[in-house]
Amino acid sequence: MTNQQSASPQHQSVTVVGLGPMGLALAGTLLEHGHPTTVWNRTPEKADTLVTKGAHRAETIAEAVYASPVTIMCLKDYETMYAVLGSAGDALRGRVLVNLNSGTPSEAHAAAGWATERGADYLDGAIMVPPPLVGHPESVFLYSGSRDVFDAHRTTLASMGDPRYLGSDPGLSVLYNAALLNMMYTTMNGFLHATALVGTANVSAVTFAELALGWFMPSVMDSTLTEQAPDLDSGNYPGDLGTMEMNLNALEHITRTCVEQGIHSDQPRLMQVIAEQAIAEGYSGKNYLAVFEVFKKATRTP
């Protein structure tokens, strides 16, 4: 019996393509919610733990897409989605594609057209929480595209978090994503730079966070940064939930979105340059807070 045949309406079978930190969290959560889950990843071993929990590992991308009425894509970017689905043949016809990678509105529009040409219904989306918060009912997931498709699959989407429908323009999710992440990175950089500044007087990140976060920070950043301040003091930046490379990719999407939308792009571009510098200094596989190491040094002269 295939996953598709065995699913109840409340527990529709789902395919997840892409098992980076976020795809692993999505697939694990769907399994926990009782959805028969098929997975595919370029590096198949990343599915090993999911398979022990009941996931089906498809041998090919076509088999993965055929296995479920809905395929959730969680890859690096749109180009990767095309590269991966290129060998899916006719499998997309009559199925729903939900794409959750970050990107720009024009890339989302192109992807919607690409899916339609292949006979698939398409929803674009964006995930507004880190992997550990996937599955919490208040974790915001943004969707845009066909209202009918969204309504038909709302129950499945709700297994991953709080599904918010933004409108029929498929580019709206990535546009909101770029706007919200721009706000997040600006806030985070403000704290990290300020911590580097007081650090010149040997004030620890933990000491500074206690005063600074209570004084200014919005509550969501407050708890994240309070928990992670000891990592700044110890220089420990584990990248297992998201790497500097992934964050640079997101910053590059924000810059390009500002250019596409015709607004000023210097601020996100500067954050992009700083993340590139962190990568050049060896923090590619570390988490975003490693930009603190860049801030602690004098600006490089050209």
Beta carbon nearer to ligand NAP, 69 or 239: 239
Closer residue to ligand NAP (CB): 15 or 199 = 15
Residue with Cβ nearer ligand NAP (7 or 61):
61
Minimum Å gap between C-beta 134 and ligand NAP is 9
> Per-residue DSSP letters for 8-43?
-GGG--EEEE--SHHHHHHHHHHHHTT--EEEE-SS
Helix/strand/coil (H, E, C) string of 46-68?
HHHHHHHCCCEECCCHHHHHHCC
Instruction: Enumerate residues 6+ apart whose C-beta is below 8 A from 103.
Output: 77, 78, 111, 174, 253
Tokens of 251: 């910053």
Phi/psi of residue 143, nearest 5 degrees: -135, 145
**Using CB under 6 A as the criterion, which residues of the chain lie in contact with ligand NAP when the complex forms?**
18-23, 41-43, 46, 74-76, 80, 83-84, 101-102, 127, 130-131, 241-242, 246, 249-250
Of 32 and 45, the one with the shorter C-beta distance to ligand NAP is 45
Closer residue to ligand NAP in complex, CB, 32/151: 32
Residue closest to 208 by CA, chosen among 194, 222, 189: 194
- Residue at token pair 């943004």: 142
Q: What minimum distance in Å lies between the beta carbon of 161 and ligand NAP?
A: 11
Six token digits for residue 118: 């292949």
The residue (of 163 and 242) whose beta carbon lies closer to ligand NAP is 242
Residue number, 133 or 198, with CB nearest to ligand NAP: 133
From the list 137, 134, 170, the residue with the least C-alpha distance to 155 is: 137
Q: How far apart are CA 58 and CA 65, in angstroms?
A: 9
Nearer to ligand NAP, 170 or 242 (CB): 242
Residue 26 β-bridge partners: none
Q: Give me the least distance between CB of 224 and ligand NAP, in Å please.
A: 12
34, two tokens: 């009782």
Residues with Cβ within 8 Å of residue 249, at least 6 apart in sequence: 76, 77, 102
Report in angstroms how near the CB of residue 206 gets to ligand NAP at its nearest. 24
Output helix, strand, coil percentages for the chain, rounded to the nearest 5: 55, 10, 35
Count CB neighbours of 7 within 10 A: 18
∠ CA 281-287-293 to the nearest 5 degrees?
A: 40
